[in-house]
Amino acid sequence: VSDFLVLTGLSGAGRTAFASDLEDLGWFVIDRLPPDLMVKVADLARGPESPLDRVAFALRSDTVDGETLSGIAEMRSVVEGLRIVFLDCSTEVLVQRYEGSRRPHPLGGDAGLADTIDAERTLMDPVRAEADLVIDTSDLNVHELHDKVAELYGQADDRPMRLAVTSFGYKHGAPRDADLVMDCRFLPNPHWVDELRPLSGLDAPVREHVLGSDLAQGFLGRLDGLLDLLLPAFVGEGRSYLTLAFGCTGGRHRSVAIAEAVAGSLRAMGQNPAVTHRDVDR
């Protein structure tokens, strides 16, 4: 093993997302393991027959007790190059995240949410003091945190840019996480064709109606050229996630057909986009 990492921090600060990103980058992540067992696993991982190269231990606050610091000290003494990363976040933002997710705090009891978070902060302060790196995620969204993980713990050959293609309806609002937004309302609208209205852009008759015009083909051709130019540039800047959003009035016909066509073009370029149609069933 060349790298050992202990990942810990406040609940809601992004530890689960951080651990998932580490796994995507080839790390072997172990969750909910007490420090004394971490030492034993580390010994096994360092053995000559071990297939593991990078190992991360995720340490949750609900497993922290009086033995945790001594366990971390033992880890430091026997595991060369051990790094401890602590994810911090402001109480205000943590309250917003928990209220938004409607999930209970793992240490929750009779106290209010803010008081519970403050109590957890006090519990975790000694662990935070042992950290080699403290990352404040208060101003980071999930994509920015992903970029941070890739920057710190990825390797040049394991950071492919992840692409997402989505369709939406302007009447329901544009996606807040979109990086590039294209308005497809200039294309022929199947809504005004009686036999096409109940269908969606996933159906062949609608796709033919939307994509069959010279205007649509010209748009797609120019967009292919634009993406062929932009994608390598984004990768060169270290970008790891890009969301392309295509909108029409309701998000059922034109935007869906265009999003599917663009996803097909991206696959032909060797990409593997994740495709969603947010409003197709509204």
Higher-scoring residue by pLDDT: 215, 109: 215
Would you say residue 156 has pLDDT above 60?
Answer: no
Question: What is the Cα–Cα distance from 90 to 121, expressed in whole angstroms?
Answer: 10
Helix axis angle for 35-45 and 68-78, nearest 10°, is 20
Per-residue pLDDT band for 159 (boundaries 50, 70, 90) equals low
Q: Which residues contact 167 (CB under 8 A, 6 or more apart)?
A: 201, 245, 246, 247, 248, 251, 255, 256, 258, 259, 276, 277, 278, 279, 280
Q: What is the pLDDT of residue 85?
A: 96
Q: Considering only 62-66, 107-111, 190-194, which range has the smallest mean pLDDT?
A: 107-111
Report all structural domains of the chain as residue ranges with CATH numbers, in order of start: 3-158 (3.40.50.300), 162-277 (no CATH)
CA torsion, ordered 181, 185, 190, 194, to nearest 10 deg? 130
pLDDT of residue 108: 77
110: tokens are: 């009779």
pLDDT digits (tens, 9 = 90+) for 213-227: 999 999 999 999 999
Give the distance, in angstroms, between the CA of residue 178 and the centroid of all CA atoms in the same chain. 13
3-state secondary structure (DSSP) of residue 217: helix
Contacts of 129 (CB under 8 A, 6+ apart): none
Q: Does residue 130 surpass a pLDDT of 70?
A: yes
Amino acid occupying residue 181: V
CA-angle at 117, arms to 115 and 120, nearest 5°: 110
The model's pTM is: 0.58
> What is the rounded average pLDDT of the residues 65-83?
84
pLDDT band at 231 (very low <50, low <70, confident <90, very high): very high
Tell me, what's the pLDDT at 80? 82
Cα(118)–Cα(192) distance, integer angstroms: 57
pLDDT of residue 103: 84
Q: Is the pLDDT of residue 69 over 90?
A: no
- Mean pLDDT, the chain, integer: 90
Give, for 182, the enclosing helix (H) or strand (E).
strand 180-183
- The Cα 130–Cα 119 span in angstroms is 19
